[in-house]
Amino acid sequence: MATKTQCRIGSDVDLLSRIQLQEVLRLLEESGPKSSVEFTAPPETTFLKESKAQPNTPSRVVLLMSGLVSGAYDALVLDATVAPTQPPVGLAISAITRRLTPYDALVCKDETILDELPERAVLAANGARREAQMRYYRPDLRIVQSRGSLDSLIQKVKGAKIDAAVVAAADMERLGKQECVVELLTTAVCVPAAGQGALVVLVRSGDQHFHDSVSRINDPTSHRELAAEWAFLDHMGVNGAAPVGVIASTEAKVVEMEGVLASMDGRERIQITVKGSPGHERELGRTLAEEILDAGGRDILQELHLA
């Protein structure tokens, strides 16, 4: 019997990241005939233990990718919302998983929906994208940023330390916390982050054997949609830290993209939808970005010191 090559797939060490890693390992196990590669999760590495950077922050993602380059593991799972739009030199995207529900969701203790929250209610909307869109939609609410894990955020809502929180529906699904979700937020309320709901698996560019094995779980539709969303961000000249949202969807051979740019004070919101055909997703992303920039987006970005 031939000896299998071991492929060590790494991730960050927080609970959600480890669940995402297990999802990828399960997909690989279910992806078809057994290959000559055995996929394993390596133990936590020393450099991650010593890092004080929080999970899913840019500095943490850079650290994780440096671990892949240096050989601490052979593949790396990242939430697509924090993955780079262009992999750094030496790394390549091997797979993008089928995305789960890509929208944001509202968590509220007493099952009150967003429109029914009382004035001055405290709403946690972490990140510039959520904060800006919530300030636009409900300027009467007290919008706050809340540090800590998603589970700690849910506990703050349950303990009435805050009234409600906006979170990624896919994260709630992966954590098995769907019962805490009061409603899914439509794009009329909050356009999600690029890549929301999907996972990205990176490998070293020269490891063709591992790339071929991991690529079995690549979802072509999600891959094309994320390519469009990342092209949008690149053309806007921003990253996931900006008050920008975008989502692409494919139906009946039509690709629809919706993008938003909002000012941090919630006074301005530019939201545009464009449509195109499959195979031209990157061009569509650039078109959407250009339309938002021409509609006043450049002025907003300049105010944010992002242009």
pLDDT at site 307: 59
Q: What is the pTM of this model?
A: 0.94
CA 145 – CA 128 distance, rounded (Å) = 9
Bigger pLDDT: 56 vs 112: 112
Span 126-155, mean pLDDT?
Answer: 94
Region 63-80: mean pLDDT is: 95
For 196-260, what is the HEC assignment? CCCEEEEEECCCHHHHHHHHHHCCHHHHHHHHHHHHHHHHHCCCCCCCEEEEEEEECCEEEEEEE
- What's residue 109's pLDDT? 87
Domain with CATH 3.30.160.40 in the chain: 229-303
How far apart CA 151 and CA 149 sit, in angstroms, is 5
Residues in the chain: 307
User: What are the start-end ranges of the H helices in 41-143?
Assistant: 46-50, 58-70, 128-137
> pLDDT for 172-191, tens place per residue?
999 999 999 999 999 999 99
CA 182 to chain centre: 21
- Tokens (6 digits) for 30: 């279910």
pLDDT confidence tier of residue 232, bands split at 50, 70 and 90: very high
Residue 8 clears pLDDT 50, i.e. is over it? yes
Q: Check whether 2 has a pLDDT greater than 70.
A: no
The pLDDT of residue 22 is 96
Conformation bin of residue 279: beta by default, left when phi > 0, alpha when psi is -120 to 50: left
Q: Is 25 exposed, middle or buried (0-12, 13-18, 19+ CB in 10 A)?
A: middle
Residues of the chain with CATH 3.40.190.10: 5-98+198-218, 104-184
Q: Contact 98/197 with Cβ under 8 angstroms?
A: no
pLDDT band (50, 70, 90) for residue 1: very low
Instruction: Dump pLDDT digits (tens) for 113-140.
Output: 999 999 999 999 999 999 999 999 999 9
Specify the pLDDT at position 51: 74
In whole numbers, what is the pLDDT of the chain averaged over residues?
Answer: 93
pLDDT tens, 10-66? 999 999 999 999 999 999 999 877 677 888 988 877 777 767 778 888 899 999 999
Nearest to 204 by CA among 97, 96, 89, 95: 89
- pLDDT of the residue at 45: 74
CATH assignment of 5-98+198-218, given 3.40.50.1820, 3.10.20.310, 3.40.190.10, 1.10.3720.10? 3.40.190.10
Number of H helices, E strands in the chain: 10, 13
Residue 222 CA to its chain's centroid (Å): 12
Architecture of domain 104-184: 3-Layer(aba) Sandwich (3.40)
Q: What is the DSSP letter of 7?
A: E
165 sits in which H/E element: strand 164-168
For domain 229-303, the question of CATH label 3.30.160.40 is answered with yes
